[in-house]
Structures are given as C-alpha cells and as structure tokens.
Chains A and B, each alone.
Chain A
Amino acid sequence: MEEALRYAGVGLVATAALTWLAADEARAIRSARVAGVLALALLALWFGAVIWVAPIERAQGIVQKIFYVHVPCAPVAYLGFVMTAVGGIGFLWRRDAHWDRVAISSAEVGVLFCTLILVTGPIWAKPVWNHWWVWDLRLTSTLVLWFIYAAYLFLRTLSSGTDEARAFASIYGILGTAAIPFVFFAVDLAQGKTLHPSNPAREGLPASMLVPLLLGFVAFACVFWYLFARRLEVAKLEARQS
C-alpha cells in the first residue's frame, strides 16, 4: 500500500510538472532542447550502466537485461495516457486548441512507449516462460490499454480538425483513463493469478541492478519529454498551416 502510494506520488509530480510545462505552448516547445540534451546524456549513462554495471543474471542469462528497457517504458506510457486526459480536460474546459495538441502529442508518444512494452515483454518471455504470450493480468491489461489509445489515434486520423472533432477526441481520451481501473479489475477477475514478476522495489534489487533501472526511468522520462515537445511543435506548425 505504502509502495503504491509512493508510485502514485511520483506519477502525480510528473503529471503536474508536465502539465505546468504544457500550459504554455511556447515554453514547452522551447524546452525540447534542454530535454534533448538531458535525454541524450542520460541515455548514454543508462546504456553504459546496463552494459557494464548490471550483472548478467544467473538464472535467466543475458536476456534479463531487457528488463532495463521494458520496465522504464511502463510508467512513461502511463504518463502519456494521463496527459492525454489532462489535455482533453484542458480543451473541454478552456476551449483552447493548444490543449488538444497536448492531448494528441502525449497520446502518440504514450502509444509508442506502450508498443515498446508489448514488444520487449514477449522477447523476454519466450526464453524465460517458454511462451511469447500468456493471458496474464499485466499483459492483458497493457494490451487492452494499447488498443484503447490506438483507437484514440485512429479517431484522430479520421476526424477533421473542427472543434467538434476535438471535443470528441477529448471525451474519448478521458473515457480511456477512467476505464483503466475497470480494465485492470476485470482482467484480474478473469485470470485470478499472475505470472508477471512483481514491481521491482518489492524484490529488493542489489545496487548494481537498481542504478541502471533508476537511470532508465529518468532517461526514458526525458525521452518522453523531448518527443512530446517536438510533437507539440509539429502539431502547432500543422495548425498554423491549416
């Protein structure tokens, strides 16, 4: 419980920071440079740590190193989806197209990271579980989450750039976030058990594994920040052109 609260707290801080940044579009776009430099530096550090610091796990071998890519993707993807809802609420409240651009930019980058989770997971699972996929709580709910936000992106490509279409998409983005707890609960009910390893902190990782993992979280968050800011810039240019 305490751990869940800690995760929620970090998520809330990240969402608040990103919301503050996104509130001023020019500021968000300007921040891309800082984010890019930070992301590059941190990615280099993270990569070095994964290669040289992190040990080769005894039971699973080299394939365990996917962990350092797979796990940091998850909170970043969630952040993208929460920001989609934030952008949606912002648009419905203020009727300012800039919030809609925030929503679509974060949804796109969120889906990218969610795709990475879904790709790296099976690559690890095949040698370790001997299956590419099992219908387990985490896997299934992540897949459904991916479908929800892929549908959101599909909705965006099909609808025209009117305020009506923006309101549609905003509501769907909010619906998606509201549905996440139910999806999680429903899948839990349908499976009743999970094969997926529990959250890393619970297992008491040694420092040689914890450091690359934490670096991964921060580096991927910066990558998200950078891609989000650049995508926002593209969206703004598109809006100016049309």
Chain B
Amino acid sequence: MNGPRVALAVLRKDLLVDLRSRDRLGHMLIFAALVVVLISIVLRTSAADARGALLPLLWIAFLFTSLLGLARSFQAETEDGAWTNLILVPVDRGWVFLGKAGANLLALLVVEAWTALLAVIFLDVDWTRAPGAALLAGVLGAIGLSTLGTLLSALSASARFREFLLPILLFPLILPVLVFAADITGEAIAGRALAERSAGALALYDWVFLLIGYLGFDSLVEA
C-alpha cells in the first residue's frame, strides 16, 4: 500500500462516516446558521458603521463552527479503539494525517459555502464582486484551519479537558489565518484588487503547517 492511497482511504472513511451519521456536519451547519442569524440581529440593533465588521465576524463565526467539527475529528478512533489499527498502517503516518486533514478540509468547505450563502441571504453580502478572490480566501483559510486544527485535535485527543484545550491551543496560532483571510475577503467585497501580500502569506502559512503536521504526526504516533 502506498502513501497517497492510505491518505485517500482515510479520507474516504471519514467522509463516509460524516455522510452516514450526519452528526458532525449537521451540527456544524445548524450552529453556523445560528451564529450568522445572531450576528445579523445584533448588527441590526447597533450603529450603521458596525456593518464594516461584518466580514471579520463571519470569519470568527466560521472559526467557532469549525472548532466543533475539529474537536471530534479523532473521537471515533479514540472511542472505538480504532486508533491502534489506524496507525499500524505500513506507510509513513504523515499520510494518515493528510487523509484526516483532507476530510476535515472538505467538511469545512461545506460549512464555509453554507456560511457564505447565509451571509448572502441575511446580510446582503455580494460575493459576485470578486468571486475569484473570495473563493481563494475561502480555500486557503479552510486549508490553514484544517491542517492546524487536525494536528492540534490529534494533540489534545487523549488529554483531559480536551474541549478547553483545543481552543486554547488553536486560537493564538490561527490568528494569522483569520487576519489574512479577512483581509483578502474584505478587499474582494470592496471591489479592489486581490490582496496579494496576504494571499502569499496565507499560502506560505498553510504550507508550513501542512509540513509540520505531516512530519510531526509521525513522531507523535511513534511515541
């Protein structure tokens, strides 16, 4: 069995679990809808210039929603004792990480598309002004969140108080993703050119954390 096939198998397994149980994704979608509705209502009661805070708020909403899903990304393995079987796979365990992160990425992209749609309906956000840049921000942001989130979720999976631990570990490290992604989407919505500096930094950040995740996961499992 070679590495990419292992990654694909893990990804396929996680997607199947997500699609069949609908627990994780379903809860995330409902949660995202609730947060966006709350933001819309609260913004309506505040001053008009608060609408400028809309896009950063959407990214925060997305972060909180993805936290729900990420926290559970290793739950099935740890609860059902499948962890040992998973890591006995005779390839570099980094591929298992890539499969896991890939499954999380797809789930986050679904949640993101849903959040974007809700923003159109409730908050009159017009993504068509720069669809390419908005899409780029969405994909790069989701990659950063899924790689870092998957790695940290693996780190905290067996710890006590893991529901506290994951956000405390994740939030300070994810700050750059939020800032860069909010910058790109903000420029896109304002109809300005692509914020190349932010896009480049975000892509580099994704790459560094993908690399640390790939290398780190193996030594994590080894221990």
Contact = CB atoms under 8 A, between A and B. Distances in A.
B209 interface: yes
A151 B169 contact: yes
Interface stretch (B21-29, B42-50, B154-162): B154-162
Interface string B180-206: 100100000000000001100100110
A189 B151 contact: no
Nearest to B180: A186
A164 B165 contact: no
A interface SS class:
helix
Contacts of B216: 92, 171, 174-175
A174 B151 CA distance: 13
Interface centre among B148, B156, B173, B222 (most CB of A within 10 A): B173
B176 A179 contact: yes
A170 B159 CA distance: 15
A155 B158 contact: no
A92 B180 contact: no
B208 A186 contact: no
A176 B220 CA distance: 16
Interface in A173-227: 174-176, 178-179, 182-183, 185-187, 189-190
A166 B216 CA distance: 12
Given A92-B219, A171-B219, A186 B160 contact: no
Nearest to A163: B223
B166 to A, nearest CB: 10
Nearest to A159: B159
A167 B171 contact: no
B197 A189 contact: yes
A159 to B, nearest CB: 5
Contact of B183 (A95, A154, A155, A189): A189
B165 A158 contact: yes
Contact of A189 (B158, B161, B179, B209): B179
A168 B155 contact: yes
B172 A167 contact: no
B interface SS class:
helix
Contacts of B172: 144, 147-148, 151, 179, 183
Contacts of A166: 223
Interface residues of B, number: 33
Nearest to B162: A158
B219 A182 contact: no
B168 interface: yes
Contact of A154 (B165, B175, B176): B165
B97 to A, nearest CB: 11
A86 B11 CA distance: 33
A158 to B, nearest CB: 5
Nearest to B148: A175
A84 to B, nearest CB: 14
Contacts of A154: 165, 168
B212 A186 contact: no
Given A171-B151, A174-B216, A189-B179, 10 more contacts: A92-B216, A147-B172, A154-B165, A155-B156, A158-B165, A166-B223, A170-B219, A171-B219, A175-B148, A189-B198
3 closest Cβ pairs, A-B complex: A167-B223, A186-B176, A186-B179
Interface of A: 92, 95, 144, 147-148, 151, 154-155, 158-159, 162-168, 170-172, 174-176, 178-179, 182-183, 185-187, 189-190
Interface of B: 148, 151-152, 155-156, 158-161, 165, 168-169, 171-173, 175-176, 179-180, 183, 197-198, 201, 204-205, 208-209, 212, 216, 219-220, 222-223
25 contacts: A144-B172, A147-B171, A147-B172, A148-B173, A155-B155, A155-B159, A155-B169, A165-B159, A167-B219, A168-B155, A168-B156, A171-B155, A172-B155, A174-B212, A174-B216, A178-B209, A178-B212, A179-B173, A182-B201, A183-B172, A186-B176, A186-B201, A187-B175, A187-B179, A189-B180
